[in-house]
Structure 1
Amino acid sequence: MFLFLFLFFTQIFAVQASPSAHQLDVPFEELYAPPQPSQAHEWQSYEGIYASVYYTSQDRKVALELAQYSAQSIPRLAKKLGLSTGGAVDIYIAPSQESFLAMQPAIPPDWADGTAWPKSGLIFLRSPSIRDGRSDSLMQVLDHEIVHILLGRAFAHQPVPRWLQEGYAQIAAREYNEETLDALAQAGFVDAWIPLSQLARGFPVNAHRAQLAYAQSADFVAYFLQTYGEEALQKVIQNLIAGNRFEEALFLTTGKSTEQLDQAWRGQEAFELLWLKPLFSDTTLLAVFGLIFVVAAIRKKHEYKNEWQKNFEEDLEHVEIQKALYEMLDTWKLESKRPFVIVE
């Protein structure tokens, strides 16, 4: 029954891909130089200490804003990660979708809103004129890509753990949103969260499970920062760069095993999502999370009951939950969604 509910909600709450493409290992990437956008246009630039922004005439204003923003964002994010800023980054604003796809070391997915290439120090963004009204600002996308550059450079020829890469990038770019909450809520209904040890080995191929991995990565990084602090995460990063395995890096920093951290994280964060602190104005969303809390409480109570008693009550629980879900969905159709307010 819980599997049915998970699949049911998976279809209701459509999830979208991350705005940044997962980068490929491209030979001689560090030698790559982007081509001109077209015969009719040439790159113009704003140059700074940490970044140079290349643009065509139609994006002059946004290029100046990104140049000013990157001058503050790059050193700020490097400090938070405990990493060097490295050499200057070249940021390109592609004037068209065709140029965005053509000017990169390897062709990114169609859905990518930005890409980062750490070895060559390149970031490619799409012009506001071709972004189709996406909710994330271009500054948010830039922050996401800057994290990829900083971590990619720090790990050099080692692959950056994807939970760290994508988890911290989402937090830095303030991308933890309603879709992320939906993915976590869906998994919470059926205890389908991906174990931390599996998350450390990479993301699933299945699209919905991959989206859950993205959401969990952000949630785990946020939990770790909230529980152990920024310096502790920096130590984990340095331990990973030094060649320690995931389990070793966590233990050297926290003194806890992966299983202990996993249990603590799930126990505190799986349903509470304390770090986000959203202000809900939509009563149906409150109903969703209220129902999740009820389910969690029922399951906790069942742990202390005899087996036959537990099985009997779980059957009743399934009926009650299914009824509540359909009542909630009827209400959902009549009310409009409102955006979350994220308190940092």
Structure 2
Amino acid sequence: MLSRASGWPKLLRCAATAAVGAISRFSIRSSRFAEAASLLVLVALAAPAIASVTLDVRAGEGMERVAAGIRAGDPRRFDSVMDLVGLNDAGAPILVLVAPESSPLAKRTPSWISGYAVPEESFIVVFPQRAVRYPIDGMEELMRHEIAHVLVHRAAGGHDVPRWFNEGVATVAGGTWGLTDRSMVTLTLARGGARSFARIDEMFGEGEPAVGRAYALSGAFVNDLLQREGSDSVAGVLSRVRDGAPFEHAFVRVTGMSIYRAEERFWRRRSFWNRWVPLLTSSLVLWGAITLLATWATAARMRRDRARLAAMAEEEERETRNAECETRNEERNGDSRMKNGE
């Protein structure tokens, strides 16, 4: 299946346009050229159309305005998520239930969960009044996050992928990886704890603080993967899983390294934060820095004072010498007058 990221549909259509223009501008003397041009046009027009995500939005009590806003959104707003996972056709409509806090679903769901997906049933639930908890920042980001779970499932052909990878892709799909995410990763590493992907998976099953840290770390790894291996690396892994390869084998084929080697590299590159952030932010280092700054300021002040005192001493010595010279001159003049008077 053609990847949306490959650009082939667009390329073929451009070629078709060029061919049609050439046919209209020039007389075709060769029947072979005419046949080839016609074939190119037919192939281009037969290129798969981009089928964006379609939603079937249902509103719970009091949620009709929010649901209407979701329905009114640009249907192409999730195309970047399709690019990320490598889908050219998003597939069947996704059922979206917009649930109020008074609903039984909300009451059965921990208050720190903003939404969840049931990918195999193409079904997501969102709680708009909770769409302000990390890693979610607003309804649009919440929708992108949950829809990403459904699209990951489809891109993988329904086969399982590790939760840390699934959540990492959804976290990156939710929005631009920014300062908040990097700060969360730094704080997570400074506190210690997770040192393996298996541990991150466990953290997703724990309470709110642990889940937030798990999102940060899984998102950091997927973001790192995209930067190092290319924007099509996630799509490459998922396409191989769809073709039947175990996730670990698919990962090796795309990255050239085992998941364990990638895990080791990921943690080693961040060992600086584990080792130095706690030290650099400790009260001991803070007061040490203040002491050094005070010592430097005192030494600088003493140097300025010594220079000022030396200048004053030199000026005083110069004035003393001048006064002595004037005294000697007056004495000489007095002696001369006395001799002349005699």
- TM-score by length of structure 2 reads 0.56
C-alpha distance in 1, partners of 2:176/2:235? 21
Q: Is the Cα contact below 8 Å between 1:163 and 1:217 reproduced in 2?
A: yes
- In the TM superposition, residue 143 of structure 1 has moved relative to its aligned partner by 0.6
* Runs (4+) off by over 6 Å: 317-320, 325-328
Asked which structure has the greater CA Rg, the reply is: 2
Q: Which residue of 1 aligns with 2:236?
A: 235
C-alpha distance in 2, partners of 1:132/1:295? 34
- In the TM superposition, residue 235 of structure 1 has moved relative to its aligned partner by 1.2
Q: Is the Cα contact below 8 Å between 1:236 and 1:250 reproduced in 2?
A: yes
- In the TM superposition, residue 87 of structure 1 has moved relative to its aligned partner by 0.2
> Compared with structure 1, are the counterparts of its residues 49 and 219 closer, same or farther at alpha carbon in structure 2 (3 Å cutoff)?
closer
What secondary structure is seen at the aligned counterpart in 1 of 2:213? helix
- In the TM superposition, residue 243 of structure 1 has moved relative to its aligned partner by 4.1
- Deviations 1:111-159 (CA, angstroms, capped at 9, x unpaired): 32212222222222224xx448667211111111101111233445533
- In the TM superposition, residue 321 of structure 1 has moved relative to its aligned partner by 4.1
For these two proteins, the number of residue pairs brought into alignment is 233
Q: Which residue of 1 aligns with 2:255?
A: 254
Read off the aligned partner of 2:285 and give its amino acid letter: A
Q: Is the Cα contact below 8 Å between 2:63 and 2:99 reproduced in 1?
A: no
- TM-score by length of structure 1 reads 0.55
Read off the aligned partner of 1:228 and give its amino acid letter: E
- In the TM superposition, residue 252 of structure 1 has moved relative to its aligned partner by 1.0
Q: Is the Cα contact below 8 Å between 2:119 and 2:149 reproduced in 1?
A: yes
1:79-228 matched pairs, under 5 angstroms: 79-83=83-87, 84-101=89-106, 107-127=108-128, 130-131=129-130, 136-155=137-156, 157-174=158-175, 180-181=181-182, 183-189=184-190, 192-196=193-197, 198=198, 202-204=201-203, 205-207=205-207, 209-228=210-229
**Percent identical across equivalent pairs?**
22
- Deviations 1:78-114 (CA, angstroms, capped at 9, x unpaired): 2221124110112222244325438xxxx43333221
Q: Unaligned 5+ residue runs, structure 2?
A: 1-51, 290-342
Of the two structures, which has the highest relative contact order with CA contacts closer than 8 Å and spacing of 6 or more? 1
By percentage of residues, which structure has more helix? 2
Read off the aligned partner of 2:233 and give its amino acid letter: A
1:265-280 matched pairs, under 5 angstroms: 265-268=266-269
- In the TM superposition, residue 64 of structure 1 has moved relative to its aligned partner by 3.0
Question: Is 2:78 the partner of 1:74?
Answer: yes
C-alpha distance in 2, partners of 1:158/1:267? 30
Q: Unaligned 5+ residue runs, structure 1?
A: 1-47, 272-291, 297-316, 329-344
Read off the aligned partner of 1:214 and give its amino acid letter: Y
> Compared with structure 1, are the counterparts of its residues 52 and 264 closer, same or farther at alpha carbon in structure 2 (3 Å cutoff)?
same
Q: Is the Cα contact below 8 Å between 1:155 and 1:241 reproduced in 2?
A: yes
**More off after superposition, 260-269 vs 88-97:** 260-269
C-alpha distance in 2, partners of 1:178/1:260? 27
Q: Which residue of 2 aligns with 1:306?
A: none
> Compared with structure 1, are the counterparts of its residues 238 and 215 closer, same or farther at alpha carbon in structure 2 (3 Å cutoff)?
same
- Deviations 1:188-246 (CA, angstroms, capped at 9, x unpaired): 336644234x358x333554554433221100000000111122221111223344344
